[in-house]
Amino acid sequence: MVFTKPNWKTILKLCGPIFFIFLVLRVVDPAAAAEAIKSLKPEMAIVSFLVFILVNGTIAFRWWVICRRLKMAVPYSKVFPVYYISWFLSLIPMAAISPIAKLAFFKDEGKPVGITAISITIDKLFDILGLMLFSLFGIVYFPGSLFKELHLWAYFGGITCLALIALVFGARLWNVLIRTLRRYSNKKIQKLGKNFEAELSDFWSGFDTRFFSALFGISILIGLLRSLVLYLLALALNIDVSFGLIVACRALFGVINVIPISLSGLGTREAVLLPALSLSGISKELALALGFAAFLLTLCSKFTGILFWLQRPLPLKVIRSMKEKK
């Protein structure tokens, strides 16, 4: 099992912060952005933080649903703190620290490493699928001029065609989707350096549309809750913006953050917010303030995980044993 990270990946993560510094020094008025952050309403920020906790709870719930499907006898009351501790430990600039922590805690509970690794991989897979769906919303939302040139019948006609294609070729499309998901998960599992393909094959053999819809629905809910966090922060900064625009923004930088080019979204978030919020006449300084406030809120959310970590520190002996077996 690989626990180290190539230096080029660490350097790549600095791209976002470097871009943020560029925006502060060359694009916006730092003093005006700082004043905007100072005007933040604390009560709205607290509500936003509470919703952020709900986001983490929903992500942990999706992981718990996957664990149940894999017949892992682990209650949600244990899944949630393990997820939150891994969220806190992601502050450490170490490769794959979050999945390593999850593996270590579950192994300490006596859970098989292979099944745990599969649960983590599937959870990450559906997180990416949810982000992809939201990215489509962002792509459709922003080019408003495109829909001004289309007749309404053409728009709904396109939707009808897609529905007919899904109806006629639904079985084939489902098989293609499952093969793609199998291939992705197999590659991720192989990186762990263990032969877990048999367990993974058992999981996919029992995979059906009902379970897929459940995981996909939870992933969509997570995306909406993440957007609500950003929207509440916008209200806290007295930014008059629609929830739809915030969802579109969150969709785009959520997909960008799949690529490890930032630390907690710093820089990539602002790269989307500055041009996007200008559509509603929002100043660059307010857009930067919103992005930075979201970054600070993310850090605060991660730091609260220390409360769970103090109750149950990372089992280092388990991690050492996992290293020895790599």
Predicted pLDDT of residue 97: 81
Q: Cα–Cα distance between 184 and 251 in angstroms, integer? A: 22
pLDDT higher than threshold 70 for residue 168: no
CA 51 to chain CA centroid, nearest Å: 15
Predicted pLDDT of residue 79: 95
Segment 6-21, tens digit of pLDDT: 456 667 788 889 999 9
Segment 241-256, tens digit of pLDDT: 999 889 989 988 888 8
Please tell me the total number of residues recorded for the chain in this structure: 326
User: Averaged over 126-147, what is the pLDDT?
Assistant: 72
**Dihedral sign from CA coordinates of 65, 127, 249, 40:** positive
pTM for this model (two decimals): 0.83
Look up residue 269 and give its amino acid: R
- Percentage of residues in the chain with pLDDT exceeding 90? 40
Domain boundaries of the chain, sorted by first residue: 7-324
Predicted pLDDT of residue 3: 44
Do residues 263 and 17 make contact, with C-beta atoms less than 8 angstroms apart? Answer: yes
